[in-house]
Amino acid sequence: MNESILRFGIYLPPFGPFGDPKVLVELAVRAEAAGWDGVFLWDHVVTDMMPIADPWTTLAAIAHATETLLLGPTITPLARRRPWIVARHASTVSRLSNGRLIVGTGLGVDESGDFSSFGEPTDLATRSAMLTEGLTLMRAMWAGEAIQHVGPHYQVNLTAAEPEPHRIPVWMASSTNNPQVIHRAAGCDGIFPNPDDQELTPEEIASIRQDLHRAGLPTDRPFDVAVRGNASPAWQEDKDVDLKGLAQAGMTWWMESLIHFDPLALSMAVVDAGPPPV
């Protein structure tokens, strides 16, 4: 792969010091000015570090305040949000941004109570089935198809409508290399491998690429691999990340990860420093 097509994003939670949507809009404007290619927000409803901002309304504000920045939720769990509402949210932000939206989706997690606090299903099998069914419905709505659907989790009856004016790419989050997860991701526009306990290596990225091709992803189809971590020289400690090796292995997006327990001034310094050198 040619590293010259590598893109750089800021990836962060909309809570704690980032819980004020005005701060997130300012951060996005500064990211665009500093040369970042995208800003991507976590999607949670419960946190132990308030306040918390809704990602979709914040993304709409960011879309209005920027011109070239790609943006999206990374990730929004369809099992926790009705897929037709997500489809409408995405349609609105896509049109407002003139096609700069990327929808990251996945199973989500319940570590802060995002599901269990509200009586939502927490078992992986149910959430996986809801994700698959919901993604099919969401894509059909974007395509303007007539939908008569009665499934195990959703019922939808819609007449045909105009398709979306801009194509809306979908990235699939993956915390494991489970074959079902890889197969689902191979049908999308990208993958966001996000293991809980480690930073990904070039060898692991190459292995994920191989798994995707074995699952049916054509070798010549454009496909994003987004990798999170910390490589900015603006951090107050040395970061040893092999960005060149990751890009050669198949990474197409480096997601510089900001976190809510760091001082806001430090996070903004990382943003203002621009993408790390490869």
Mean pLDDT, residues 178-185 taken together: 92
Mean pLDDT, residues 64-75 taken together: 97
Mean pLDDT, residues 54-75 taken together: 98
Contact assessment for residue 237 and residue 198, using Cβ atoms and an 8 Å cutoff: no
Domain assignment of residue 277, yes or no? no
Q: What is the domain extent for residue 211?
A: 3-272
Domain assignment of residue 13, yes or no? yes
Of 57-61, 101-105, 260-264, minimum mean pLDDT range: 260-264
Kindly state the DSSP code that residue 213 receives in the 8-state scheme.
Answer: H
Domain assignment of residue 23, yes or no? yes
Taking CB atoms within 8 Å and a gap of at least 24, the contacts of 272-276 are: 272/30, 272/34, 272/234, 273/34, 273/232, 273/233, 273/234, 274/34, 274/35, 274/36, 275/8, 275/34, 275/35, 275/36, 275/37, 276/8, 276/231, 276/232, 276/233, 276/239, 276/241, 276/243
Domain assignment of residue 134, yes or no? yes
Domain assignment of residue 278, yes or no? no
* pLDDT number for residue 195: 86
Mean pLDDT, residues 179-207 taken together: 93
* Whether residue 176 has pLDDT greater than 90: no
Mean pLDDT, residues 185-191 taken together: 97
pTM of the model: 0.95
Mean pLDDT, residues 17-43 taken together: 98
CA distance 36 to 162: 33
Mean pLDDT, residues 185-201 taken together: 92
Encode pLDDT of 208-220 as tens digits: 999 999 999 999 9
Q: How many domains does the chain have?
A: 1
CATH classification at residue 202 = 3.20.20.30
> How many whole angstroms from its chain centre is CA 275?
18
